[in-house]
Chains A and B, each alone.
Chain A
Amino acid sequence: MLTIIYGDAKDSVYNTSVYFKNTYESEWFDSELVKRIIKDVDDSEVLSGECINSPVLGQIPPERLSGGVKTLLLMLNEPDKIFNASTCGDNCAKWILEIGKNMDLTINLRHMMSFGKDTEFEIKVKNSGEVVHSMKELLPIASKYLNVMRQE
C-alpha cells in the first residue's frame, strides 16, 4: 500500500538525484517495469545497465535520467527508505500508484501532486492516519499538512 507523509519527513532522502548516482546498480535496468517507466516518463530506451538512449541527448548514463525516473527507481529498489517524491512530476504519479499496489511504499511529498482527477486509489496519509480513495478526498488533507510545512 502507498503511504504518503506530507510536509517535513524525518529521515527521508531529500536529494534523490545524488543518492541515486551513488547507489544505483546496473541490474536494476533488467526489469521490464523499469524499462516501461523510462520509456513512458523520459521517452528513452534502456540499452544496458549503464547506457540509456535518449531521443534528445543521445546515449547517456543512468545518472542523467530525469529526477522523477531516478526517484521512481529508488522507490522500486529500496522500498524500506522514504524518498522525496516532490522530485517527481505529475507524469510519475501513475507509476507511484503502480509501485504502491505491489509493495508497501512510503514516500514524502512536499507539494500537491496530482494522482488524476478521475483516478481511484488507496493512499494512507501518514500525518493523520486517514486512508483516501480519490483526489477529492486527498486534496483537503494534503493541503492542510502542506500549509503547516516549516520554513527554517
Chain B
Amino acid sequence: MKGAHRIIVETRKIKYDFVINRNITILTGDSGSGKTVLIDMIREYRRYGSDSGVTVSCDRICKTLDNEDWEYQLKETEGSIIFIDEGNRFLFSKRFAELALASDNYFVLATREKLPMLPYSIHEIYGFRKSGKFHEAKQKYNEIYHLYGEITDKDGVAPQYVITEDSNAGYEFFSELSRQISISCISANGKSNIMKKLQDSERVTGKRLVIVDGAAFGSEMKEVSEYLALSGQVVLYAPESFEWILLSANVVPKVNVRHILQDPADYIDSKQFASWERFFTELLADQTRGDIVWNYSKKKLPRAYLSPRVMNAVKRFMKVIVWE
C-alpha cells in the first residue's frame, strides 16, 4: 500500500480529521485525549454503517482488529487501514509484527508500549489535542528534538561528542566529520543501545549529539525524550536515515530524486519496505549501481562520500548542527 490517506471520523459530538502517511502510525499521549473513542467509532461504523450515526470518510477501508481470530482477519485483509486499541496482547507478539510488516495494509496503533519489532518512525507518533468538538492529531516529535523546543539557525548546536545509531556507512561519515573538528564519535551499534551510550557518556562536558534513523527509531523515542528532558545537554538529530540525508543534500552526480523526496509516501510500498529507511538505502544503491566512484554500500562507504564537497554539502543540509 502506498500514499498518504486522509481520514475523517465524525459524529454530532466529536470529529477527528488526520492524515496517515505510512505503514505504522502510533497514537499515544495523555489519558482522556480520545484514542479509544476514535477506535470505538470506527468499529461501530464498520458494524452498523450509517445506522451507527458515525461518518467515516477515507479513500481506503478503515477497520478495527481486536478479537481472538485477529491472525485470520489480518491475513484476509488488503489495502485497508487497520486500527488496534491498547489491551490487545497480540500487538506485542512476534507473530503480529511478522504479519503486519508483510501485509498490504497500514496500521494505526493506540499504545504506549514500546514495540521494537516494528520499525516505526518518530514522525508518525501522534497525540490528540482537543478543541471543543475537534480532535487534532499533533506530531509528538520533530526531526530535531530538544528540551527547549525548536532550535533556530541562529543558535545552532556545536556538539562536543557524537553518538550514532549506525555502525556502518553513517558512522564512518560522522566519524570523519567529528575527526575534522577534533571531537569523539562513537557508534551505539543499534537503536536499543542509545540509552546505554548516553548514560556512559555523562561525564562529557558540552553538548552531546545523537544521530539516529528517525524512520525506525519510534520504539525508543519515549525513553530517549525523557532522558533529553532530564539532561538538557543532549540534542537528538533524527532525519529519516543517513541515505536520506545524502539524497536530500543532492551530493551524488546524476542522481536527482527530488520528486520522490517531496512525496515519499507516493513511492514507498509498505509491503516491500518495512520502513522508509530501507527504501532510501535501496534507492541510493539503485541510483549509483555500476558507478565505480559513487556505488553506494551501507556496509562500507566509498571514499567519494568522504570528499570535502560531500562533507560540506551535508554540513549545510544539517543547518542547525555546527561542525566548525
Residues of A within 8 A of B222 (CB): 111-112
Which residues of chain A in 37-73 are interfacial with respect to chain B, using CB atoms and an 8 Å cutoff? 41-43, 56-58, 66-69
- Is B34 positioned at the interface, with any CB of A under 8 Å from its CB? yes
**Interface size range on B against A:** 35 or more
On whether A42 and B31 interact (CB within 8 A), knowing A58-B13, A135-B230, the answer reads yes
Residues of B within 8 A of A142 (CB): 223
- Is A77 positioned at the interface, with any CB of B under 8 Å from its CB? no
Residues of B within 8 A of A117 (CB): 229-230
Bound complex: CA A68 to CA B199 (Å): 31
Residues of A within 8 A of B14 (CB): 56-57
Q: Which of A67, A69, A136, A151 contacts B86 (CB 8 A)?
A: A67
Identify the stretch in A14-22, A24-32, A98-106, A120-128 within 8 Å (CB) of chain B at 4 or more residues.
Answer: A14-22
Bound complex: CA A143 to CA B230 (Å): 14
Type the 1/0 row for B222-245, where 1 means its CB is closer than 8 Å to any CB of A: 110011011000000000000000
Top 3 A-B residue pairs of the complex, sorted by shortest distance between their CB atoms:
A68-B31, A89-B30, A15-B87
Chain A residues within CB distance 8 Å of chain B: 14-18, 41-43, 56-58, 66-69, 86-92, 110-114, 117, 135-136, 139-140, 142-143, 146-147, 149, 151-152
- A-B pairs with beta carbons under 8 Å apart, 22 shown: A14-B89, A16-B87, A42-B31, A43-B32, A56-B34, A57-B13, A57-B37, A66-B31, A66-B32, A66-B36, A69-B32, A86-B86, A86-B112, A89-B30, A89-B31, A89-B112, A110-B112, A111-B112, A112-B226, A140-B195, A147-B192, A149-B114
